[in-house]
Amino acid sequence: MKSRPASPKLFGTDGIRAHAGGYPLDPRTIPAIGRAIGAELGGTVILGCDPRESSPWIARLLRAGLATVGAWVEDAGVVPTPAVALLTQQADAAGGIMISASHNAYGDNGIKVFAADGRKIENDAEARIEHCVATDDGADAATSFDSTGDGDTHDPTPSPLADRYVELLRKRFPSGNWLSGLGIVVDCANGAMSRIAPAMFRALGAEVHAIHADPDGTNINAGCGAVHPASLLATVKENPADFGVAFDGDGDRAMFATRAGRLIDGDAVLLLITRRLRRAGKLENSVVVGTSMTNYALEQVLAAEGVRLVRTDVGDRYVFREMLSLRASIGGEPSGHIIFGDFGLSGDGLLTALKLAETIVEGTSSLDALTKDWNPMPQLIRNVPAAEKVPLESLSEVSGKIDEIAGLLRGRGRIVVRYSGTEALLRIMIESDSAETNEAYAADLAALFVRSLGPAGRLSMG
C-alpha cells in the first residue's frame, strides 16, 4: 500500500475527493480522517451519503474512526448533501459529514464536513484535520479491509432523518397543493435526490415525470443529471412539461430546461430570483454574489437594472462567505449552486427548484417567457489534463499568453484560467462576443500549456 504523505493536502474546493480505494480514501486513511473529524467537531455527528457503490464501506470506516474519539453518529442514510447541512443545523449536532463525490463518476468519492451551524468548515479547521491525519499513528484492522464493497449495501428507503429534511424544506413554502397542474420532468442523476425530489414535487401537486431515478451504485451521473443535461432537454421535448430540472449526484446543484428546450443554468436562475426579490423589495443592498465563472452578460444585465455583481473564487462556500460579508440576499454559480440569504446555508438543488417553481406560479408565466431576454455571452470552458498543478506564474509563456488574451478581450469579454479544486485539470474559461474567437484562443492556450508542462506533468487524454 502506498504510504501516507507526511503533510497531506486533503481538502480541495469542496471537501476531500479522490478515487475510492486510493489515498486518501483507502482503508488505512479513512479511519484516521474519522478520528481527526471527530476530534475537531466533538459530540454528535450527522452522517449521510450518496448511493454510489463505495459509500457504504467508506461510511463504515469513518464511523469506526469517529467512535474511537467518542463521537456519536446519527446515520441519515442516502440523502442529498444539503440535507446533512440542514439536519446538522436543526438538530443542534456538533457537525455533519457527507460522503459524496458530487458530480464525479461513480468510481470517485469524497468527504464533506459541516460545522455545528450547518455551514462547511473553514480553512483553519480543514488544516487542523489534515495535521491530525498526518500525525495519526493509529493501527487499524481496517488496513486489510477489501474496499471493493464487502457486501455493504444501502437501504433505498428514506430514513427518518431524510423525512425530517423534507419536512423542514416544505415548511418554507405554502401549504397545500400549490404546484397543482404544473408538469415537471425531474432528472435525479441516479443520485441522492432519486427518492426525495420526485416525491416532494408530487406531494405538492405537480405532475412528475422522473428520469434517472434508479441508482444501482455505478450509474450515478452517468450521462445524466446537472452535468449531462442533454437527457433532460430531450425528455422535456418528448414529454411536454412546464419545465425540467436536473440535479447532480449529491443534490446541491440544479440545472433547468424550458418547455421549448432551452437550458437554464445558475446564472439565469440568479437573474430570475434577483428580479423577483427586487419586485418584492427584498434584495438587500442591491447586490448579487457570483464567481469568476459567472457570465459577463449577467453582470451587464444586473448593472443596467441597478444591481451590482460581486465575484468570488469558485466554490459555494466562498460565495456564501461573501454573501454574509455584504448581507446579500442571493448568490451562486453557473453550475447551479444557488444560495439564498433567507436560508442561511450552502446550495440546495431541491430548494432552488422549489424557489423557481414558486416564481413561475407566482408570475403565472412560463420559464420560457421569464427568460426571453436572457442572452448569455458565448462562453467556452476547456479542461486540460494536468497531473501536476504547477503554479501558472512559473510558466512564463503560459502566463504571458493569458495576459495577451486578456488584453485582446478587454471591453468585450474575459478569460479565467485556474486549476480545478476537485480534479486533476486546468480549466480555461473564455467569454467574448464570438464563439469562434473563444475556441481559437482556448486551443492556443491549451496547446501552449501542454507543451510548457512537459510529459511528466501530463495525464493521458484517454
Q: Which positions are annotated as active-site residues?
A: 102
The sheet that has 108-114: what strands, in order across it?
11-12, 15-19, 108-114, 95-99, 44-49, 72-78
